[in-house]
A and B are shown apart, each in its own frame.
Chain A
């Protein structure tokens, strides 16, 4: 799965500009699915037919990533930018970002800003793409860029930009690869625009009208120095979501994941996340309501350029997803 993950995390795909990552994922799933389509907002839907009597199940992972968007280019060719999703200035100064045309920019900070001991605001940052004037600047207002970071692997830890949520995409693709038979009509949905408001998931689920929906996304951790107390650690198994700041997981969906993990001897953790939410929040309120849950990959440094997950959690997430899909829901 490592090469799949490498390909997914290193591909460009900020919210709203998911064409490249969609093409990469499409190439991976095309031969595995019975039907494939792109819905009106751009989410990729790969359908796998099941037997009779199963449920219509959506599995969703978002393929967009956080990034920045150029909002202004000054006469010397420096660009100002705004955030796409949860990008924070603390994590960006000195970073490199890349545009879809390959242009690389360095995030600089105004030297004479008001209070140099404070974390700068986004307004005090700029992007240096090596231009000398507005005219020769290779990027324009409205262009989007993402962090530049290759995948690094140390022991069982995987470190890259955009683990959120390409690692979820990897879990879905690997699940589809290994899936032998299922009673369910499965829709593997690679959603767009999660980071700016869960938009792709809501509209895709409306189109599919599922009986059950499960998102696969990253969650936080409580196992780093002076972290908030959170009973989730890297390497102790995928986390079955109980609650986050946007939703309360449907009890039956949560329970089935826990039970199948227990039955199959797959390690798992239970997740109560104080800040953040996932596509499952949007899917649960579609139409008359969809019982929804989330299988999470514990991740450190979420929304920084170096998001870290544990390979064993990813593997166990695939195993658990296969267990969930194998039998009646």
Chain B
């Protein structure tokens, strides 16, 4: 599928952490013709299996990108106004003034607002508006609001993806739907390429609330190798050059203790062979991504991490370059196709060879 159209569909679908049904439907529809089997994991992750051509038992590679997004939830009602709580790392600075949909008894359009600046005491003006001073107004009188809206109702952000110049796009939830798109593109390419290994494409849930879908999916699949994909910081004012990556110059390949060094080397060699540009992203500690959870599943899974440089993370204007998504998809497909039946032996630790 054309990448910008795919990104648009994924970005605009609802799918708050823990409530990913709508976006799972979109992903499921896209993956159905591309995989041999599909199932939904215990916590709602979508798991597509595309079988390889090697002899059974075939080794398994897991490709993971999360489909949950940050959002809001009704935490209380006050005279027809809705108190709100952030779901999964929503940023109170980034929701003020947004249009939203309150998923109440029926969907209600609303806006996120706070007190006007005129009445805010001078000592508070320099501070971020805290959650308890933000509210959602759906325009209805209090009695109707109380009939329709319940504590715990979800609120999703209404936001069309913007197509900018130079194949840049900006929208909500591109963290990490852009990477779901990359996995989708990889599946499309793998339909035309021989691959020996079984491929488990996983759109994980609840990454933003603690890597939960990746934790449980990895347990269920028990992969031999895994590649997680997530967004990484794009270059923008206010961030140090050493912690950001330019948009449009390819995905990043992470290095660090969360990532298996020999697997990373192989991934780099695949990128070089395919003439896919990339940057190396140093991750000295926790990657904070699904890779962190998958690496320690069961006995341990050699894991790599591909990043897509993205500006303005967790704001409804996350911006990235469509060509980086395409390159990440190409890289994934070429990596999978490069896996020979005995690939695991080639990345085994030297110590384990000696002991045998």
Q: Which residues of A contact B (CB under 8 A)?
A: 222, 228-231, 242-243, 246-251, 254, 269-272, 274, 281, 284-291
Contact = CB atoms under 8 A, between A and B. Distances in A.
B43 interface: yes
Contact of B212 (A228, A229, A284): A284
B15 interface: no
B210 interface: yes
Contact of A243 (B41, B73, B150, B219): B73
B220 A287 contact: yes
B209 A288 contact: no
A298 to B, nearest CB: 13
A15 B152 CA distance: 32
Interface in B198-220: 206, 209-210, 212-213, 215-217, 219-220
Nearest to A231: B76
Contact of A230 (B75, B206, B216): B75
Interface string B32-44: 0000000001111
Given A222-B76, A247-B209, A274-B85, A288 B216 contact: yes
B195 interface: no
Most B CB contacts (10 A, CB to CB) among A247, A251, A271, A272 go to: A272
B349 to A, nearest CB: 27
20 contacts: A231-B77, A243-B73, A246-B209, A247-B18, A248-B18, A248-B87, A248-B209, A250-B43, A269-B151, A270-B151, A271-B151, A272-B85, A272-B151, A288-B216, A288-B217, A289-B42, A289-B213, A289-B216, A289-B217, A291-B42
A268 to B, nearest CB: 11
A319 B169 CA distance: 53
Given A243-B87, A249-B18, A289 B43 contact: yes
B233 interface: no
B83 interface: yes
Contact of A285 (B44, B73, B212): B212
Contacts of A290: 42
A288 B17 contact: no
Contacts of A269: 151
B131 interface: yes
3 tightest A-B contacts by CB? A289-B42, A248-B18, A289-B216
B132 interface: yes
Interface residues of B, number: 33
A237 to B, nearest CB: 12
Nearest to A251: B19
A243 B131 contact: no
Contacts of B131: 274
A247 B19 CA distance: 12
B73 A272 contact: yes
Interface in B39-63: 41-45
A288 B83 contact: no
A272 B74 CA distance: 8
B78 interface: yes
B15 to A, nearest CB: 12
A247 B85 CA distance: 13
A272 B77 CA distance: 12
Contacts of A287: 42, 216, 219-220
B310 to A, nearest CB: 24
Given A248-B19, A272-B151, 17 more contacts: A229-B132, A230-B75, A230-B76, A242-B152, A249-B18, A274-B75, A285-B43, A285-B210, A287-B42, A287-B216, A288-B216, A288-B219, A289-B44, A289-B216, A289-B219, A290-B42, A291-B43
Interface string B71-101: 0011111100001010110000000000000
A287 B85 CA distance: 29
B216 A285 contact: yes
A143 to B, nearest CB: 34
Nearest to A292: B43
Contact of A272 (B44, B152, B209): B152
Contact of B41 (A231, A250, A286, A289): A289
Interface in B216-232: 216-217, 219-220
Given A243-B18, A243-B85, A272-B151, A231 B216 contact: no
Contacts of B219: 287-289
B292 to A, nearest CB: 13
B279 to A, nearest CB: 32
A288 B220 contact: yes
Contacts of A230: 75-76
